[in-house]
Structure formats: C-alpha cells, structure tokens
Amino acid sequence: MVGTELVLDIGAVAHGGSCVARTEGRVVFVRHTLPGERVRARVTDGTRTSRFLRADAVEVLSASPQRRTPACPWSGPGRCGGCDWQHTSAAYGRELKTAVVAEQLRRLAGIDWTGEVEAVPGDEDGLRWRTRVELATGPDGRAGFRAHRSHDVIPVEDCVISVPQVRATGIFTERFDAGVTGVDVAVASDGSATAVLLPHRGEVPGVLETVTAGGATLDFEVSARGFWQVHPGAAPTFVDEVLRQLAPRPGERVLDLYCGVGLFTRFLADRVGESGAVLGIEGDERAVADAQPALREVPQARIERSDVRQAGPLVAEHLGDVVDLVVLDPPRTGAGREVVEQITGLRPRAIAYVACDPAALARDLAYAADAGYALTSLRAFDAFPMTHHVECVAILVPAEQG
C-alpha cells in the first residue's frame, strides 16, 4: 500500500512520534500530525495484510489549534527525520510526551501516573539546545541527516535544535571528499566545538564537560564520539534529582550500572565519603578509560568494565555483602528482567532508574514490582525538545517501605 493516499481523522498520540488513526479496522501511525486533525496521508510502510500501516500527513485538511509553522524548513514528510514535533510548540510537545509516558506506565506496568513532562533549563522554545550531532554525507559530498526510517541523506543548511556553534563549524556548507561518510560534532561546556570526520583513524579527541549539581562542580573528559547528555541542562538536572531522592549517606555502598564516564559515580562518591564505596559498571571500553581522570582523587570510587548481567563477582569483590543504593541508566532497550532481578536481589534501600524510553521503563517497573519493589517517585524531563524522546527518573524502594 506504499504510496496510497488516505483521508484520516487523527486520534491520540502514540509512542514514537506519530499519532493514531484508523482505516478499515486497521491502525495507522501517522507522522506530522496532531490529535484532533483531519489529514490526507500517504502510506510509507505496510501492505493490505499488515496489522498496521505507517503514513505521513501530506496535507492538513483541518488543523489543530496547536499547529504552527515549523522553525525548521527541512522538517516534514520525506525530509529530515531528526525531529518529530517541529509543527507544534515545545510546550505542547511536552503535553504529548506526558500522555505517552502515562499511557505506557498504565498499559505495561499498571501504574497511574499523574505527573507531567517538565522543561529542562537551557533552551528557548525547544530550539538551540543540542550540543552533539551526528551527520552523514550524501552522494554530492554534503552533510545532512537521514530521512525517517531511511538511509537517504537530506542535506541541510542548519539544524535549528543544535547550538549555534555547530553551524559555525561550517559542516553544513562544506563539500566533503568521497571517502568521508559522515561527521560528528561535539560542543563542550565552554562552547568550543570539535568535529570528527568519519571514518576516523587513530585516537578520537576528547572534550571537557563541566557539571554543577548537588552543591559541587566537577569536570569530565568525554570522547567527542562518546555518550554524553546532549542537552546542556540534562546532566545537572538528573544528578540533582538522583541525589535528592536517594539522599546518600556517609559510609554507604552504592552500585552504579551502565555508568558511562561516571557522571553519577563521581557525584555519589562525594556523598558517601571515604568511609563509603561506589562501584560503577560499564561495558564500553572508551567510556571506562574516559572515566578514570575524574576518579583519581576519590579512592572510594572505581569503575570496572563488564557486562552488567555478569557483574556479580565485581559487586561482591568491591562492595561486599551489602549494597545500600543502586543507580541504573540503561540504553533505550531498558535493563530487562534478568538485570532487574539481580538488582532487587541485592535488597538496596532505594534504586534510582534513569530511563530514556518510557515503554522499556514501564516493563522494568513491572519486573521490579514482581520482585517486591514499589515506585515512590517518577519525574519526566523534556531533555530532547522537538523529538518524541523523553527522560524519566524513577525511584524504587522495597514494597514494605513504600
């Protein structure tokens, strides 16, 4: 049915940046729409026997009052696939994300959440916040972004959600040699930009990131191609929330899973002091190497490279029989039942779960409930304005305490 055009009445928002419509008893996930609209949509994926279809709205027949002209001229059907909600405000985007988080928690974990997705300091109406971008190069040597669910490269002259320093590097106007397949740009806390051409040979340069949270200011050196929160307000916001909710005490023993370059590890180490211990577990070799400079003056903290699922011996060696607190910040797929059961089996007094996907979070919260841990707090943050992505910080305690 690809290419077929349908007139559709748009219903609720769906997880993933689309809204839901129905035709002949089948669900259609329609991008570039808002709830309550009537649109002409072109099918982009699906057959007459598919359980559902995907489509793009190519004409708005009846617009939502929340619709606006996109700030980005490269967004829309068949264009850059990086943003999902350029056709509305960041504030309404947060309302849509709130509905998604609530629906996922209710459907997958049986949790009625009445919170709302909160703005993160550091952007204006969802624009000019992104400090790291990954671009591909097209046949003409120009850099751009992939179209949605496609390998096609859409050349652009700017990215309006990225900080101005990204455009200032000249990557949007340069014509790259045929051997260059892409370019990554990282803008550090001091505003300096580092561009890395791909494929890259040799050592990837590092950038210095400074985070002020929990009453302290700490530096982290991170690979220009490594993982770091791309919103400048995200890292301090998440650290503040985790520290506030867990309230680490001197002498406590803390396990930090999927710890990356040790953002939480380092701040937690200050709270537990030299009488305590913090063990970070991370599978990425470069991240573990990047983490070491920040730990030189904190002997109570260490980061080890390991698959989280196989970290039991390391936990026993470095933390002993008692783990008071756990922090986990897994990839988009979530931690999974096995890891959740291992964590809850340690019987920590509290767990902080930092999640970048509400569906994966909801599934893991259901596993935790089966293991006797109850959700006591969940805050959601708009760390990726104009996209469907949302970050959540959930706090779990033994059910008898909750």
Q: What CA–CA distance (Å, rounded) separates 279 from 259?
A: 9
Residue of 19, 72, 83, 356 marked catalytic = 356
Q: What type of residue sits at position 10? A: I
Q: Dihedral sign for Cα 62, 67, 73, 76, please.
A: negative
On whether the CB atoms of residues 356 and 332 are closer than 8 A, the answer is yes
Helices 358-370 and 337-345 sit at what angle, rounded to 10 degrees? Answer: 50
Task: Write the DSSP symbol of residue 121.
Answer: S
Q: What CA–CA distance (Å, rounded) separates 152 from 358?
A: 28
Angstrom CA distances, 67 to 29, 36, 64, 366, stand at: 18, 11, 5, 36
The angle at the Cα of 386, spanning 20 to 378, to the nearest 5 degrees, equals 80
Q: Nearest-CA neighbor of 327 among 236, 401, 266?
A: 266
Helices 358-370 and 90-109 sit at what angle, rounded to 10 degrees? Answer: 30
The distance of Cα 373 from the centroid of its chain, to the nearest Å, equals 24
The answer to whether 356 is a known catalytic residue is yes
317: enclosing H helix or E strand:
helix 312-319
Q: What CA–CA distance (Å, rounded) separates 398 from 220?
A: 33
Give 125-192 as a DSSP string. TTBS-B-EEEEEE-TTSBEEEEBTTS--EEE-S--TTB-HHHHHTTTTT-B--TT--EEEEEE-TTS-
Beta bridge partners of 395: 352, 377
End-to-end CA distance of the chain: give it in Å, rounded.
51
Pairing verdict, β 253-257 and 277-282: parallel
The distance of Cα 155 from the centroid of its chain, to the nearest Å, equals 24
Instruction: Please give the positions annotated as active site.
Output: 356
